[in-house]
């Protein structure tokens, strides 16, 4: 029988550039896997997190094996490329930091000695490996479990793209269902059999099939009175076991969960699960945490899943890469409908070897996750046109879409488009369904433009299913104001933004799915936003998972059936006035407010309740909100002057960006370039290295794009020439604006 040993303990680690060791380096740091070397410097800002090779070394003995047994090493995730050596012999190179890979080491391990395993993990930029660039930290390390798997010579296949040698799918037939189980066997013997057994949640056998153990065999099993997997409403799961039987012995065995379900997307009515309308409303998630980076434990993954469950979401977009199997399992168990995707994000490399890598990452994503009933959508790209469009890009996307359908014809393909991509773009016709990342009301425009844009798309393309793959705005829970506005990073503005978006989404069931960006703040070491270094602060929950921002409770009011009441603005605790408005979120029909134990008033309403002119008569004021037996209480303090800590010193006033155009003269039509000075023909990265030139560029970029940009945001496109990037972001950019920017840059010598 198969034996599995975890190899997570007793590793030695070093990120110092050196020759690969041939004996265990005792002087190296002791670490336990999961491990990343960027858990601190990948979240502290400065765009200077360590990118390079980190070495891991470990000694293992030789497992007690039977004659003919095969020994595999399995790595569930190494960022972003890995080379594995056993006893100084290179046995595999794996390119892609988010998927499982295995290697047969039977012939390499030696029985009469300890065996040295050395893994070189490399998170430096590599032209042929995705992602090329993105707005999140590319953590390096051996950040998921490592295992040793011992199997008999005849076993369920371990060599095909990290799969388990078993795939299951289902088709509903009235009150019943048919389950197709494909098994893949390495070295089957003539008399071997495979038995596939389906158990219900009470561990009773509901169906079973015995067939000969061919290299590939399809089992068709009937489930009477099938209990369907109905998302968060009823995530019922069967358990499937495939056993390889030789005479009277089970020689190998694999298993998976099975959710019997069917789904479709109607462009006019949205998502349907098992024939039942179920508008998908949820969040996106990155796989990192404060001080831990991406080296999460199974407990960390479940903590995230349960927070998502609390908010009442029924869908999760797992961005922008393959996530840990533990999280997909949690989604199966809790009933979240999942969008899973590969890291083909922000920029395509034209090198054909890069497309080979995108294809291999898609193959791994699908093969390794085929059995998860929670996954209904495969994402082939995210904002890929932000770095420019081309015929090659379109062909590559079409090829990925075709590959995805060839690997799995039971699910739909999708992609997340960057906001400036025109509605009529050919890109919107490539995948089965499509979504857009829109940030009206944050990076540019007004909040109401979200409504206008999606209504316009839906009217223009009524037969095209459209969703929202990203929307959101940043909030630092320290920043507070009575006059919230775009770009101020206040918790109050984030709340106003999401109040509008939550209502806008609820009124449009034809949006096939909406995914808030993001459930949690996440590491982005290039960023310096909202007074916080190294993070994207758009989360509804902080990076350490300790504090749920006010906006979290807006969605809980819209999505969750769990009764609650929440007083907003609690971190804006010191108020320099005699009266204040108190905002309360709840999913109950009425809320009663009390001040220092005395009832102030009762409001009936929906989701958002605002009590006007609540008196602040004492220094400390206890305010309580109650609905039936549910109560929330917060203490506020009356002060004589505003707390300066509530103000963000470097907030961007987007109302002033038009001032940049004041000095433009209409006769500036010729671009002259002195190569000794900066120009629009330099790359973004070259210009940002000079503080003065960088300031000119960011001021101009804000004015031209009307977008809330910072140097960290532009830094993602550091390899693009300035003129090329601006023409991509704003196709109808005035020539006079381009010329004026060039003139300002030419004043600054290199």
Between the alpha carbon of residue 502 and those of residues 347, 588, 683, the distances in Å are 31, 16, 39
Q: What's the CATH number of domain 574-646, 3.40.50.720, 2.60.40.10, 3.30.1330.30, 3.40.630.10?
A: 2.60.40.10
In the chain, DSSP finds a helix count (H) and a strand count (E) of 12, 41
CATH code for the part of the protein at 3-151: 2.60.120.260
Instruction: Categorize the per-residue pLDDT at 119 as very low, low, confident or very high, splitting at 50, 70 and 90.
Output: very high
* Predicted local confidence at residue 492, as pLDDT: 98
User: CATH 3.20.20.80: which residues of the chain?
Assistant: 263-562
* Predicted local confidence at residue 725, as pLDDT: 82
Q: What is the pLDDT of residues 604-615, one digit of tens each?
A: 999 999 999 999
* Predicted local confidence at residue 739, as pLDDT: 85
The answer on pLDDT for 371 being more than 60 is yes
Q: How far is CA 230 from the centre of its chain?
A: 23
Q: Which residue has the tokens 């890009």?
A: 393
Closest CA to 246 of 198, 197, 187, 199: 187
Q: What is the pLDDT of residues 202-258, one digit of tens each?
A: 999 999 999 999 999 999 999 999 999 999 999 999 999 999 999 999 999 999 999
Instruction: Note whether 81 and 129 are within 8 A (CB).
Output: yes
CA distance 592 to 611: 10
Choosing from 76, 95, 341, 383, the catalytic residue is 383
The answer on pLDDT for 658 being more than 60 is no
Instruction: Categorize the per-residue pLDDT at 62 as very low, low, confident or very high, splitting at 50, 70 and 90.
Output: confident
The answer on pLDDT for 717 being more than 60 is yes
Kindly state the percentage of the chain with pLDDT values over 70.
97
* Average pLDDT of the residues in 494-498: 98
* Predicted local confidence at residue 655, as pLDDT: 53
Q: What is the pLDDT of residues 31-53, one digit of tens each?
A: 999 999 999 999 999 999 999 99
Q: What is the pLDDT of residues 272-283, one digit of tens each?
A: 999 999 999 999
* Predicted local confidence at residue 523, as pLDDT: 97
The answer on pLDDT for 555 being more than 70 is yes
Closest CA to 543 of 290, 286, 210: 290
Q: Is 262 a catalytic residue?
A: no
The answer on pLDDT for 266 being more than 90 is yes
Q: What is the pLDDT of residues 280-332, one digit of tens each?
A: 999 999 999 999 999 999 999 999 999 999 999 999 999 999 999 999 999 99
CA distance 224 to 592: 51
Instruction: Note whether 143 and 56 are within 8 A (CB).
Output: no
Kindly state the percentage of the chain with pLDDT values over 90.
85
Q: What is the pLDDT of residues 465-493, one digit of tens each?
A: 999 999 999 999 999 999 999 989 999 99
User: CATH 2.60.40.10: which residues of the chain?
Assistant: 166-258, 574-646
Closest CA to 35 of 55, 18, 60: 55
Instruction: Categorize the per-residue pLDDT at 388 as very low, low, confident or very high, splitting at 50, 70 and 90.
Output: confident
Instruction: Note whether 684 and 720 are within 8 A (CB).
Output: yes
The answer on pLDDT for 745 being more than 80 is yes
CATH architecture for the domain at 263-562: Alpha-Beta Barrel (3.20)
* Predicted local confidence at residue 310, as pLDDT: 98
Number of CB atoms found within 10 A of residue 173's CB: 11
Instruction: Note whether 636 and 620 are within 8 A (CB).
Output: yes
Q: What is the pLDDT of residues 626-641, one digit of tens each?
A: 998 899 999 999 999 9
Three-state DSSP string of 151-178 = ECCCEECCCCCCCCCEEEEEEEECCEEE
* Predicted local confidence at residue 656, as pLDDT: 53
CA distance 505 to 283: 13
Cα-Cα-Cα-Cα dihedral sign, residues 420, 424, 428, 433: positive
* Predicted local confidence at residue 664, as pLDDT: 61
Q: What φ, ψ does residue 403 adopt, rounded to 5°?
A: -60, -45
Between the alpha carbon of residue 256 and those of residues 204, 332, 374, 605, the distances in Å are 16, 11, 13, 46
Q: What is the pLDDT of residues 395-440, one digit of tens each?
A: 999 999 999 999 999 999 999 999 999 999 999 999 999 999 999 9
167 Cβ contact list (under 8 Å, min separation 6): 181, 182, 370, 371
* Predicted local confidence at residue 653, as pLDDT: 58
* Average pLDDT of the residues in 377-389: 94
Instruction: Note whether 535 and 544 are within 8 A (CB).
Output: no
Predicted TM-score of the model (pTM): 0.92
* Average pLDDT of the residues in 531-545: 96
Closest CA to 703 of 750, 749, 670, 664: 664
745 Cβ contact list (under 8 Å, min separation 6): 677, 678, 679, 680, 682, 687, 693, 696, 697, 722
Closest CA to 287 of 334, 325, 324: 324
CA distance 139 to 97: 9
Q: What fold characterizes domain 166-258?
A: Immunoglobulin-like (2.60.40)
The two most distant CA atoms of the chain are separated, in Å, by 91
Parallel, antiparallel or unpaired: strands 81-86 and 89-95? antiparallel
Kindly report the average pLDDT of the chain as a whole number.
94
364 Cβ contact list (under 8 Å, min separation 6): 96, 99, 100, 101, 161, 162, 322
* Average pLDDT of the residues in 522-533: 93
Instruction: Categorize the per-residue pLDDT at 735 as very low, low, confident or very high, splitting at 50, 70 and 90.
Output: confident
Residue 632 exposed, middle or buried by CB count within 10 Å (0-12, 13-18, 19+): buried
* Predicted local confidence at residue 724, as pLDDT: 84
CA distance 629 to 481: 32
Query: Which DSSP symbol is given to 233?
Result: G
Query: Which DSSP symbol is given to 312?
Result: T
């Amino acid at each position: 029988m198969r034996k599995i040993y975890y190899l997570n303990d007793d590793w030695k680690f070093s990120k110092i550039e050196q020759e690969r060791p041939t004996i265990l380096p005792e002087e190296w740091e002791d670490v336990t896997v999961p491990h990343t070397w960027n858990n601190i410097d990948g979240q502290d800002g400065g765009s200077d997190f360590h990118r390079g090779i980190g070495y891991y070394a470990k000694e293992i003995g030789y497992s007690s094996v039977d004659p003919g047994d095969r020994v595999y090493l399995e790595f569930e995730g190494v960022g972003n490329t890995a080379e594995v050596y056993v006893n100084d012999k290179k046995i595999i190179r794996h390119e892609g930091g988010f998927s499982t890979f295995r290697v047969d080491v039977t012939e390499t391990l030696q029985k009469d000695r300890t065996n040295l395993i050395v893994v070189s993990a490399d998170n430096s930029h590599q032209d042929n490996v995705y992602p090329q660039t993105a707005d999140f930290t590319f953590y390096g390390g051996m950040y998921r479990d490592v295992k040793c798997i011992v199997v008999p010579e005849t076993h369920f296949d371990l060599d095909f793209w990290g799969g388990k040698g078993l795939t299951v799918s289902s088709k509903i037939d009235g009150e019943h269902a048919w389950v197709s189980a494909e098994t893949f066997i390495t070295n089957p013997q003539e008399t071997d059999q495979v038995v596939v057994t389906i158990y219900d949640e009470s561990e009773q056998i509901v169906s079973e099939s015995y067939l000969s153990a061919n290299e590939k065999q399809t089992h068709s099993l009937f489930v009477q009175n099938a209990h369907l997997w109905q998302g968060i409403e009823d995530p019922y799961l069967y358990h499937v076991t495939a056993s390889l039987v030789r005479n009277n012995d089970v020689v190998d065995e694999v298993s998976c969960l099975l959710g019997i379900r069917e789904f479709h997307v109607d462009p006019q009515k949205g998502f349907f699960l098992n024939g039942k309308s179920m508008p998908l409303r949820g969040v996106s998630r990155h796989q990192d945490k404060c001080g831990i980076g991406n080296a999460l434990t199974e407990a960390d993954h479940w903590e995230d899943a349960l927070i998502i469950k609390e908010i009442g979401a029924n869908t999760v977009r797992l961005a922008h890469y393959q996530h840990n199997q533990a999280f997909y399992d949690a989604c199966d168990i809790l009933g979240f409908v999942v969008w899973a995707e590969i890291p083909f994000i922000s920029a395509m490399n034209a090198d054909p070897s890069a497309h080979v890598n995108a294809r291999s990452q898609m193959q791994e994503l699908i093969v390794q996750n085929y059995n998860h009933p929670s996954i209904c959508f495969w994402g082939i790209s995210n904002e890929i046109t932000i770095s420019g469009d081309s015929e090659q890009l379109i062909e590559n996307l079409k090829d990925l879409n075709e590959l995805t359908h060839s690997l799995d014809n039971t699910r739909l393909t999708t992609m997340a488009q960057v906001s400036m991509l025109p509605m009529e773009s050919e890109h919107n016709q490539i995948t089965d369904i499509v979504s857009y990342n829109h940030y009206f009301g944050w990076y540019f425009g007004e909040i109401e433009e979200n409504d206008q844009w999606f209504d316009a798309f839906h009217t223009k393309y009524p037969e095209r299913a459209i969703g929202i793959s990203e929307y959101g705005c940043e909030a630092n829970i320290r920043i507070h104001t009575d006059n919230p506005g775009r770009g101020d990073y206040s918790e109050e503005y984030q709340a106003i933004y999401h109040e509008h978006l939550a209502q806008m989404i609820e009124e449009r069931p034809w949006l096939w799915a909406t995914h808030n960006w993001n459930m949690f703040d996440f590491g982005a070491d290039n960023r310096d936003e909202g007074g916080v270094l190294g993070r994207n602060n758009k989360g509804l929950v902080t990076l350490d998972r300790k504090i749920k921002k006010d906006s979290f409770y807006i969605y809980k009011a819209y999505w969750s059936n769990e009764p609650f009441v929440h007083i907003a603005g609690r971190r804006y605790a010191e108020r320099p006035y005699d009266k204040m408005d108190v905002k309360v979120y709840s999913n109950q029909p009425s809320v009663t407010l009390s001040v220092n134990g005395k009832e102030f008033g009762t409001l009936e309403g929906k989701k958002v309740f605002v009590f006007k002119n609540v008196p602040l008569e004492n220094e400390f004021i206890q305010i309580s909100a109650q609905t039936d037996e549910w109560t929330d209480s917060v203490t506020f303090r009356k002060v004589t002057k505003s707390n300066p800590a509530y103000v963000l010193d470097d907030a961007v006033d987007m109302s002033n960006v038009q001032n940049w155009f004041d000095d433009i003269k209409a006769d500036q039509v010729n671009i002259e370039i002195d190569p000794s000075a900066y120009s629009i023909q330099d790359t973004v990265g070259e210009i940002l290295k000079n503080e003065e030139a960088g300031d000119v560029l960011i001021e101009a970029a804000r004015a031209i794009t009307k977008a809330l940009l910072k140097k960290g945001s532009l830094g993602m496109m550091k390899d693009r020439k300035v003129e090329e990037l601006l023409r991509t972001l704003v196709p109808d950019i005035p020539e006079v604006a381009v010329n004026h920017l060039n003139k300002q840059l030419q004043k600054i010598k290199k």
